Amino acid sequence: MSASDARLRALAVAILGAVVTLALAGCSRQGTAHPATTDASADAPVEARDFVLREDTRGVTTAPVESRPVADYLDAPGRIQADPISIVRVYPPVSGRLVAVQVRPDDHVAQGQVLAILASSDVAAARAAYRQAQADAQVKRQALERARLLYENHVIALRDYQQAQADGAMAAAALESASERLALLNVDTASSSGELVVTAPRAGVIIDLAAAPGEYAKSLDNANPLCTIADLTTVWAVGDVYEKDLASIKLGDSADVTVNAYPDERRRGRIAAIASTVDTVTHTVKVRVVLANPSLRLKPDMFAAIRVVRALRRAIVVPQAAVVREGPAAYVFVKTAANRFRRRAVTLGPDKDRSQVEVISGLVPGDTLVTSGAELLRAVGTTSS
């Protein structure tokens, strides 16, 4: 082999070695996977992430967190009741047959308004007794006048004159009694009708009617009244307070009352009475709040809730819209920088009302809180802090 052939063979071997080396390197690169690029924020807890808000996002508002005085309340269930002294049960003063009934349940009546008309023999008897007493009184007055003239002319003795005076006084008393009887029955002395007109003794609402035309009504010994009238312009809210809570309330305390029928309406009153006895079954004490009811919207036996302020303290209260709830957990979004917010878990206390809730832990005065639009923050991407 010549020297030139040896050089060519060496060059070929070198080129083949280089090609094999490059091929092996390519296979090595193809068989080795590159490590995936990971987002550090994916493994970070949610509370450690910043939620970025785009500058063109609308509907998100913030406000500083403040500590302010709040009230601790005592809530007591109760009912609306009519004032007992404003309820009148109307009984017929005499027995008789009902000719007409002029009212219906829930009617508003004025004092003196006709409720029913009753045909009664007792009315005729009372009118006859009045006329008899009237005639007897007239006879006795005439006899007394004659006795006076005779006595002045010394025709009769003093004893006879005194007897005439006594007879006249007795007749006058009998007439007055018969007249008062007719007045009590609301019967006109000049009328000859045997009907009795039953009128409303006071203004109010007919809350019960137990009479119908044609029925026979007994007099005052009847167990059932013709009707019941109640003045509902002032009502009571009567609640049950557990004996363990009695020390936190007193007479005159301000109280707010709401009823199930109008949950958005709050009526203000004061505790007017605390019962002197404890219910032996429930171990509660009745408390009474007097409420004005000019529109008659409050009805007897409505369910009510009585809220009394027990004490004042300072606490953090935030809008309900600022709290995002996920099952039993609750959290808020706190501003950390411009357009950047961080989720923070909070512990909630009692709701102060439908729009606000107390935060026991998780916030401090000075934090800037997302008060509305927190749901929009959950919809945007996050970056690691």
**Any domain includes 18:** no
Instruction: Using DSSP, state whether 150 is helix, strand or coil.
Output: helix
Helix then strand then coil, in percent of the chain rounded to 5, is 30, 40, 30
**Do 141 and 205 have their domain in common?**
no
For residue 162, give the H/E element and its range: helix 158-184
158-184 helix and 121-152 helix, angle to the nearest 10 degrees: 160
Same domain, 92 and 66: no
Task: Write down the residue that tokens 């409720």 correspond to.
Answer: 115
Number of domains making up the chain: 4
- Is residue 247 domain-shared with residue 301, that is, in the same domain? yes
Rounded distance, CA 342 to CA 372, Å?
15
Reduce the DSSP state of residue 44 to 3 states and report it: coil
Residue 173 lies in a domain: yes
Task: Flag whether 360 is in a domain.
Answer: yes
- Write out the residue range of the structural domain in which residue 378 sits: 46-70+314-384
In sequence order, the 6+-apart residues with CB closer than 8 A to the CB of 320 are: 351, 354, 355, 356, 357
Which ranges in 32-120 belong to alpha helices (H)? Answer: 40-43
Nearest alpha-carbon partner for 94 in 175, 174, 188, 186:
186
pLDDT in tens, the chain (385 residues): 555 555 656 555 555 555 445 444 444 444 443 333 344 444 445 555 667 766 656 767 888 888 888 777 889 999 999 999 999 999 888 888 889 999 999 999 999 999 999 888 888 888 888 889 989 999 999 999 999 999 888 888 999 989 999 999 999 999 999 888 888 887 877 777 778 888 999 999 999 998 888 888 776 565 678 899 999 999 999 999 999 999 888 999 999 999 999 998 999 999 999 999 999 999 999 999 999 999 999 999 999 999 998 877 888 888 888 888 888 888 888 888 877 788 888 888 877 667 788 888 888 888 888 888 777 665 444 444 4
Q: What is the pTM of this model?
A: 0.60
Query: Which uninterrupted H or E stretch holds 39?
Result: none
Do residues 283 and 256 share a domain?
yes
